[in-house]
Structure 1
Amino acid sequence: MNGWLQRIWGLLRVLVALGVGWRYGWGWGLMTLALHAAVLMLGFVQLRWVNRPAPGWGQLLRAWSREVVASELAFSWRQPWREWAEPDHLPAGAQTGVLLVHGFACNRGRWNGWMKRLRAQGVAFIAPTLEPAFGSIDAYADEIEAGVRELKAHTGQMPVLCAHSMGGLALRAWWRKHGAAHDVPRVITLGSPHLGTRMAAFGQGRNARQMRLRSAWLAELPGMPDMDSFWTPCDQIVNPAEMAILPGSRAHRLDGVGHMGLVHSPEAWACLQTALASSLSTPRRI
């Protein structure tokens, strides 16, 4: 669903820019396309008053400039047009596996960069598109379970679970429903609103309401025993920034990076590689 919504939105942006350019001049048309970057900038500026200690202006500028590129890549190209450019990969003889879980208003195309690199490494992976797009996060548990079981059957062991944004909450909802049937997995979350976020008040759908600060739904979610939480004080979506740190997890702070940019961070990729190397030393369970 998110894919075709983003295709419609992208086409509307282009049509409006063409109309403005035709009527008022092409410079104004280009400026119309750049409105996205201007609105995005406001999200970073407000972090000076939301987060304590406040990120510096240099960090915010660096994060904003990278986020413009990352968000356009995700919402104007990969998710609307390239959702299945990198299909799930279950190569013969794979010893390790990764389940990749996207966040709110996204789809599996969010992970195209990682999927391409994992394919080159011969690592098995599955990246579901979670539906319904704006339904309850609890509804995603069975789809995650199907992916976990398929990867376990293929590699003989638990996959590494990696999630961006809302996907981290979907993993915790899966653990609540299906965790008793599995060994403890290694989990990596990137900018997940484990304790909620102020920005969820502006979102649509039941899943957005579940992500609000101090929501009853969040309070009932279990933790996960073996988790790395990546967070950034320049997160324009999950704020206050510390809301992305699940108590008891290994917290990793990244500076000068925005919410979407976390998926492009070399630190997060290195953490995944470490987790995969560790899983190779774990005996296979056939």
Structure 2
Amino acid sequence: MKKTRSLVSIAVTIVFILSIFSTAEAAKKVPVASEKDPVVFVHGFTGSSSSFDNMKEWLISQGWPSNYLYAIQYSDTTGSSVDNAYELQTFVKNVLRQTKASKVDIVAHSMGGLSTRYYVKYLEGAQNVDDIVTLGSPHHGTNSSYFGLWTEGAREMVPGSAFLNELNSVDETPNGSDTSAVIQCTSIYSSADTVINPYTSSIIEGAENIEISGVSHSGLLTDSTVRPLILDGLEDGGQNTN
């Protein structure tokens, strides 16, 4: 009987030790939420939250927890970037409440970069945003907007519009009024983008401006050459939780 008990004791000890090693190995593989900022994806003119489905899957493969990835769907996809910025403000609040994070990162495509910058500059984005990556955003307007002048969103994207003049006044880099919250801003744009005309409109003073070639306007969302650039824009040291 004693021999049997000894064998059982040894077996239990071995199982316990193996479970510790298994737990340690699993911990290495499971992404720790606090090491990443939640990412909010912002679509552009006539865009959709589903535009980022593929990018979400890719970021999960790069270590982001699936519950840290959120794509907003604006109620008016051709409407004013000012109105959209207020929707973004509410959306980010909800993301921060759900994740318990202190800040989010934002990846914005096309016109989404304008509502993002407005949110940061004039609302409370300066306190709630860590990094911004814009993809083919018409920071200084696009001549393509003349084809949609019946929409407020297009009128705001006309080069030299009152909206753009206000947004780009004083400081083009969207750090808002909070000088202690410096936001890393990356603008990625393509010389093959015929929607943003001229494509150099995406250059924004104070940001890291990255020009690529051979990628279309919509291709910026899925092209494999863009992915590492987005990753660099998002990984500047992580964030702190509340």
Could you list the per-position Cα deviations for residues 78-119 of structure 1 after superposition, in whole angstroms to 9, with x for gaps in the alignment? xxxxxxxxxxxxxx9622210000000111111110122234
1:134 to 68, 74, 78: 78
CA contact (8 A) 1:192 1:238 kept: yes
1:167 to 112, 125, 129: 112
The two structures have a TM-score, normalised by structure 1, of: 0.62
- 1:221 Cα deviation (Å)? 0.7
1:260 to 203, 210, 218: 218
Could you list the per-position Cα deviations for residues 233-256 of structure 1 after superposition, in whole angstroms to 9, with x for gaps in the alignment? 111100112101112211111111
Name the residue aligned to 1:206. 152
Matching of residue 94 in structure 1 with residue 33 in structure 2:
yes
Distance 1:115 1:156, change over 3 A: same
CA contact (8 A) 1:151 1:158 kept: no
Name the residue aligned to 2:55. 114
Matching of residue 148 in structure 1 with residue 96 in structure 2:
no
Name the residue aligned to 1:80. none
Name the residue aligned to 1:52. none
Matching of residue 189 in structure 1 with residue 189 in structure 2:
no
CA contact (8 A) 1:93 1:155 kept: no
Name the residue aligned to 1:177. 122
SS of alignment partner, residue 252 of structure 1: strand
Q: Give the structure with the higher percent helix.
A: 1
CA distance in 2, matches of 1:150, 1:131: 16
SS of alignment partner, residue 130 of structure 2: coil
The two structures have a TM-score, normalised by structure 2, of: 0.73
Consecutive unaligned residues in structure 1, runs of 5 or more = 1-91
SS of alignment partner, residue 165 of structure 2: helix
SS of alignment partner, residue 69 of structure 2: strand
Q: Which has the larger radius of gyration?
A: 2
CA distance in 1, matches of 2:206, 2:126: 22
Identity in percent: 27
Q: Give the structure with the higher percent strand.
A: 2
Runs of 4+ in structure 1 deviating by more than 4 angstroms, as ranges, are: none
- 1:201 Cα deviation (Å)? 0.3
SS of alignment partner, residue 79 of structure 2: coil
2:166 to 185, 197, 220: 220
- 1:276 Cα deviation (Å)? 4.0
CA distance in 2, matches of 1:277, 1:194: 23
CA contact (8 A) 1:94 1:155 kept: no
